[in-house]
Each structure stands twice: as C-alpha cells, then as structure tokens.
Structure 1
Amino acid sequence: MRPFAVIAVLFALCALAPQARAETPPTACALAPVPGETRELTSGGRTRSYRLFVPAAVAGRAQLPLVLDLHGSGGNAAGQAKTSGMEALAAREGFAVASLQAEDARWNVPVTNGRADDVQYVSDVIGHVAARTCIDPARVHATGFSGGGRMSSLLGCRLNHRIASIAPVGGLRWTGPCPGRAVPVLTVHGLADTTNPYEGHGDRGAEWVESVPEALAGWASHNRCEPKLMQQDPPGPAHIVRYAGCASGADVQLLRIDGMGHVWPRAEIEATHEIWQFFKTHPLQ
C-alpha cells in the first residue's frame, strides 16, 4: 500500500464523522462555476484581492466547503494555487478554493501595528465569497505554506468561530493563548527544513521561535487532548505524530517527513490529498 494511502486510512480511524446536511439548497445560492479568477474587496479601508475557484461540477449542489489557501512569504495567490494543486483536487472533489493574497506578499504574523489586519481580511473574504456562491459556513478550512502556514495558525487562534480546521505546511505556530473552541490541526513538516527548522529558533526572530513539537503541544493543550504523544510509522518517509482524546474530536496531528526540506510535498506524500481528507472529516462543531 502506498504511504499516503496508509496515512489516509489512519486519519479516517480517528476522525469525526461529518454532520448531516440539509438537502434543500437555499434559494439565494448562486452555483455558477468560477474557473480561477481574481476578485477584489475592501477590508480595513484597503483594497485587497483573492483568487476564487468554484468547480464546474456544482450544478444542482448546495453549500460547498471552502478551502482558504495561503501563499508563503514573497509569493502570491496564483503561485500558491499552482504549488498546492488545490484547485485541481477541488474540481474532482467538489469544493471551492479561495487563494488569498498578502499585502506586499507577506502576511502580518506575528501581528505588527500599522500593517494590514489580515485576520479581518480573511474574515471579509469568507463573507465576500459566501455572498456570491453557496458556501457551507460549517466547512470553511485554512491551509498555507511557510508564511501562509504561520498565518493559518493565527487564523485557527483568532478566527476559530469561522474556521473549522487548519493544516499549515512548513509553518505551524502556536499563537496562543487563544479564545474559543478547540480547533482540529493537521500539519506537515520536513526534518530537513532549513528555512523553518523543525527544532525552531535559528535566525528568524519572532517569526520562528518554538520548535514544531512545541507548537503542536500548544495546540494539544488548547484542545484539551490527552497528554501522551503517540507515533505511528507506516512504510515510507512520513511518520504520524498525534495527540488523542481531544475535546470535540479536535485532532492534533503532525506528518513528519524524513529528509524533506522546505517544500509543499508531492513526492514524499500527496499533501494536498491528505489535507483535504482531514478537512472533510472535521466540520465546525
């Protein structure tokens, strides 16, 4: 069995079953496909943009999940859409994708006064998308790479009344203390990452302080998980590290990949596939 298939099976064993959904679509739903185009909005008095993708195979369907996909520092929305391949998966699986765009290509995390309020921007994007297509408010999820992973960590802390679960790649942080609910967390990180080192610290200043295990433990404490850390080692380079018994089924899991650097993994595991499997079994509770 391929490593990512083993991982998917293990995730399924410890995930919550999705909640039942109403079958009748709301009358205000707009189900027109969007092939991946830039949309503009005003957030905090600033003109911001994002890239929206709504798959063509949505006719007659209602309340699509929405995945927020955040680029790394120095990147952009179109580049992240290409890097993650999230839109191609969305076309097959039937969910919408909003690839977000940081001001000056860097997310405001750690939060610095005078810069754009990116938490408010993300909240405004969710509202902007929901007003124009049919989004299930209980199935809005956030992922991102590197700086986008740090930003998705912040969203899990500050916007967890709207974000169902998060999946940072190469960028998990613990930004607490966090108000609100337990938040399911899946993160992917390479042991050979020299940009955001697995062991933390380095020369990144406030952007990269605690190690990945320390950040994971911060989320586990917030989610009131059992303190014992468990590890599973399926064939291949990926190791599953997780906390169990978390409040409201809010799993806290790490895919630690031997020999992998600072990349969005495709060869080692199909990270986009694994992230979606995690998202679709963790709706907002």
Structure 2
Amino acid sequence: MRLLSVTATLLLLCALSPLARAQAPAPAKACALTAVAGEMHELTSGGRQRTYRLFVPPAIAGRAQLPLVLDLHGSGGNANDRAKASGFEALAAREGFAVATLQAVDARWNVPAASSRPDDVQYVSDVIDHIAARTCIDPARVHATGFSGGGRMSSLLGCRLNQRIASIAPVAGLRWTGPCPGRAIPVFTVHGLADTVNAYEGHADRGAEWVESVPEALAGWATHNRCQPKLLQDKQTGPLQTLRYGGCSNGAEVRLARIDGMGHIWPRAEIDASDAAWQFFKNHPLQ
C-alpha cells in the first residue's frame, strides 16, 4: 500500500508539472543597453521635427536600468555646444548614467510658456519616451538641469512635469513657475551674486522672464514642498555659501549654492556644478 501511495503521488506531480510550468511568470526581457557616443536623434513632437543629443556610456554591462539626466542649453545655445560646456557626458561615463542634451526651437526655450511657441514641456516628455523605447532608463531617476534659459526651462519642468522628473538643478536660472500641481520636487540651484544677466536680486526689465529674485524663487519652491519656513545658512568660509530649507515633504529639500563674485557662468572653481547636480540627483529618486 505504501508503494502504491508513493507511485500515485509521483504520477500526480508529473501530471501537474506542465500546468505549473505554464502558469509560471515569463522571465523579464533584457534591457537594450546599447552604448551611444553623443549622437543627434530626431523625433516628432507637437507636429514638428525636433532633435536632441543622446549619450549612453559604454561601461554599462550588468546594469539593469540607468538614470537619465536632461541637460538644457542657455538662450542662443545648442545641444552640441552645451554637451561640451557642461561635461556631463564625461561624468556620465564615470558614474554610469545616460545624458540627453536637449535642443530648443530657434535656440530659445518657451518659458514663460506662450501658446504661439512650441510646447517644450511636451517635447521633453516625448524625448523621455523616445529614449525609453531605445535604451534602458529607470523611470524613477529622470532629472533635469540647465544653464540660464535652460535653468528657467528646467524650473518649468519641475512644475509641469513633476510626475516624470524626479528632481531639478537649474544653474543661473531658477524660477518659481507656480502654482504647480502634483508632488513636492527636490530643488538644487547654483547662482552667482555678480550675475548681471540673470541678476540675483531679480526684477529685471524683461517682462515675465526674470521677475522674482533668486531668494523669492527659492521660497516659492519651499512653500510648494511644504518645508519649514526658516531659510537656513550653513557656516562656511569663502565665496561659496549654502542656503537651504529643511523639513520638506518627502525629503524634497530646497537648496541654493550662492557664490560671491561669480558672474553668469557654469561654475567649475568654487563648485563643479555638473558634479554637484549629479550628487544631488543620486540622492533624490522619484517618490
């Protein structure tokens, strides 16, 4: 009887095993981790042809998904020159993330947004989709930075596209573009006190483009992120000073690196803006 029982059990397991195999989940498809050495790509967004430059580092073996940094040029610039100036591609090769350097129509981003000009928020969303269809991007680690006009545009992305953008790091271009729907978004910005193009004190005679001061813009983001109301300043010597708001919702900190004597540049001396932005991005995935 015991032999018959063991035999029956084995027959039952053999009969069920094909069903068990059929119900088991299929293995996940491998990511298409193809290196891209700074190439221009085209896509259609809003009914017009747009371009962007893509870099995916060659040392990506074994990576399941890569962070993506969106880098936006200043007014009058272009994607190729911006890639050389920021150095994000060399940093990405060392750190293991992808970079998309974006290209505005007629070299100027549509911010403040006007209905008569291309929808650059939609363009950025379309670029993310375009890249995600071609390589292996972590949707929780897409970040935006930019210089001057690109900084203003990355501020707008933090407001209008914060369901896809994890954090922002505008340089010489932080704006408060609210009221903003959606989540609190971490903000890191760098600005020089001697900037005569986008003055730290704001209120330039340029229409809606540069109204509030940098501290006022910072306070707007702090309010959106439900931070504690007091602006804190770290004790530091030298031209670099760090100001920040603490106690923000979901850890969405708001921080400013202010540099005495620095003009309208992407800094490398007192602080390396590219590396500082990346260190900030690493600590702030989408939540």
Instruction: With the length of structure 1 as denominator, give the TM-score of the two structures.
Output: 0.90
Listed one character per residue, the Cα deviations across residues 172-209 of structure 1 (whole Å, up to 9, x for unaligned) are: 00000000000000000000000000000122221100
The residue identity in structure 2 corresponding to 1:242 is R
Aligned identity (percent) is: 79
Query: What secondary structure sits across from 1:216 in the alignment?
Result: helix
Matches within 5 A, 1:182-197: 182-197=184-199
Of 45, 48, 51, the match for 1:46? 48
Considering Cα pairs closer than 8 Å and 6+ residues apart, tell me whether 1 or 2 has the greater RCO. Answer: 1
The residue identity in structure 2 corresponding to 1:147 is G
Deviates more, 1:226-235 or 1:150-159: 226-235
Provide the C-alpha distance between the structure 2 equivalents of 1:27 and 1:234, rounded to a whole number of angstroms.
Answer: 49
Query: What secondary structure sits across from 1:207 in the alignment?
Result: coil
2:275 alignment counterpart: 273
Of 35, 38, 43, the match for 2:37? 35
User: Structure 1 residue 166 and structure 2 residue 155: aligned?
Assistant: no
Provide the C-alpha distance between the structure 2 equivalents of 1:174 and 1:48, rounded to a whole number of angstroms.
Answer: 27
Could you list the runs of 5+ residues in structure 1 that have no partner in the other structure? 1-24
User: Structure 1 residue 107 and structure 2 residue 92: aligned?
Assistant: no
8 Å contact kept, 1:32–1:59: no
Deviant stretches of 4+, over 6 Å = none
The residue identity in structure 2 corresponding to 1:174 is W
Cα deviation, residue 237, structure 1: 1.6
Query: What secondary structure sits across from 2:53 in the alignment?
Result: strand
Provide the C-alpha distance between the structure 2 equivalents of 1:163 and 1:278, rounded to a whole number of angstroms.
Answer: 14
1:97 alignment counterpart: 99
2:141 alignment counterpart: 139
Q: Specify the structure having the higher radius of gyration (Cα).
A: 2
Provide the C-alpha distance between the structure 1 equivalents of 2:236 and 2:271, rounded to a whole number of angstroms.
Answer: 12
Provide the C-alpha distance between the structure 2 equivalents of 1:44 and 1:26, rounded to a whole number of angstroms.
Answer: 33
Provide the C-alpha distance between the structure 1 equivalents of 2:85 and 2:30, rounded to a whole number of angstroms.
Answer: 33
Provide the C-alpha distance between the structure 1 equivalents of 2:92 and 2:103, rounded to a whole number of angstroms.
Answer: 19
The residue identity in structure 2 corresponding to 1:76 is N
Listed one character per residue, the Cα deviations across residues 233-253 of structure 1 (whole Å, up to 9, x for unaligned) are: 323321000000000000000
1:74 alignment counterpart: 76
1:204 alignment counterpart: 206
2:66 alignment counterpart: 64
User: Structure 1 residue 127 and structure 2 residue 168: aligned?
Assistant: no
- Aligned-pair RMSD on alpha carbons? 1.0
Provide the C-alpha distance between the structure 1 equivalents of 2:73 and 2:238, rounded to a whole number of angstroms.
Answer: 27
Provide the C-alpha distance between the structure 1 equivalents of 2:64 and 2:116, rounded to a whole number of angstroms.
Answer: 39
8 Å contact kept, 1:26–1:62: no
1:177 alignment counterpart: 179
Cα deviation, residue 114, structure 1: 1.5
Could you list the runs of 5+ residues in structure 2 that have no partner in the other structure? 1-26
